[in-house]
Structure 1
Amino acid sequence: MTGDGVPVTGADPVERARIAAADPTAQFGSFFLSRFLDLHISYDDEAQTCQVVLPYAPYLCNPQGTVHGGVIATAMDISMGHLCHRFLSTAVTIEMQFRFFRPLAGTGRIEGRLLRPGRRLVHLESRLFDEHDTLAAFAVGSWHRMDSGQPTPRRS
């Protein structure tokens, strides 16, 4: 519940429908967060990029009415994870840095791109564009490849 007594989960019919449709046991690419956010994921095999469309929904917004930065960060992280999985191997996030340039008040389009696809560490970028094709956020990340034969970095 929020401070004003409104339930956080299930208050919005769209949110309830997305929760009902999300299967927490789904395979890669259609896991709970991806389905809950209603992400549309596609690839450009020639350019080796991943495109993610983040549809606008009021329940994903902060009090100012724009998409919450954590939701944006999650979608950008997903663009990089899918990129690794599609073109290299399964990988896990080691670190990410974000720069938010403008608020997102509508549907966003994210493009993930490989910067340096190393044998053990992968460096990527993700760019979020608003409905006017203006850059709204930028992220870079480092990922550990699970097929590298090296132990997975420990998280504390």
Structure 2
Amino acid sequence: MTEPAVASVAVDPVERARAAAADPAAEFGNFFLARFLDLDISYDDEAQTSTVVLPYAPFLCNPQGTMHGGIIATAMDISMGHLCHRFLSTAVTVEMQFRFFRPLAGTGRIEGRLLRPGRRIVHLESRLYDEHDRLAAFASGSWHRLDGVQNPS
């Protein structure tokens, strides 16, 4: 079993879920999953990128003690969705592909980037780096814009 690279604070996942659910707000950056996972979401307006910090917590891990792939996939999905919302419009996931390169045994940093900001379909990528700045996972995705912009073709 891989030991976490950073000391974890004992967190009661039930209390964390209750606290996250106490606020019914559903706005970007402050909705249940973002609060429950304790995500720190920020943006670089000049580069048009998003950064999501995914803190390590033992209750988010698989039996091997590393971050569960579903948690990673959720955080990477959030990085792309928030990126779309910030720089284009609200959008929904059409499809995503993931590649996992190494286990995440500490806090991760996810960088989202626009690849092709289409009028209807947006193509993005998301890269997860471990606490040693090594690439741990890669995702690409297509999103459907909900702002009513239609492709004239």
Q: TM-score, normalised by structure 2?
A: 0.87
Picking from 18, 21, 31, the partner of 2:19 is 21
Which residue does the alignment assign to 1:114? 114
User: Secondary structure at 2:131's aligned position in 1?
Assistant: coil
Whole-angstrom distance in 1 between the partners of 2:126 and 2:91: 16
Equivalent pairs: percent with the same residue?
80
Q: Could you tell me how far apart the structure 2 residues matched to 1:83 and 1:71 are?
A: 18
Q: Distance in 2 between matches of 1:98 and 1:58?
A: 22
8 Å CA contact 1:67–1:105 kept in 2: the answer is yes
Higher relative contact order (CA 8 A, sep 6+): 2
Note the C-alpha offset of 1:19.
Answer: 1.2
CA distance in 2, matches of 1:80, 1:13: 27
Structure-2 residue corresponding to 1:129: 129
Number of equivalenced pairs: 139
- 2: CA distance, partners of 1:116 / 1:149: 15
One-letter code aligned to 2:91: A
| Pair 1:63 & 2:63 matched | yes
How far 1:149 moved relative to its partner? 4.8
Matching residue of 1:139: 139
RMSD: 1.3
Give unpaired runs (5+ residues) of structure 2.
1-9
Give every structure 1 segment of 4 or more consecutive aligned residues whose post-TM-superposition deviation is greater than 4 Å: none
Is 2:106 aligned against 1:91? no
Structure 1, gaps ≥5 residues long? 1-11, 151-156
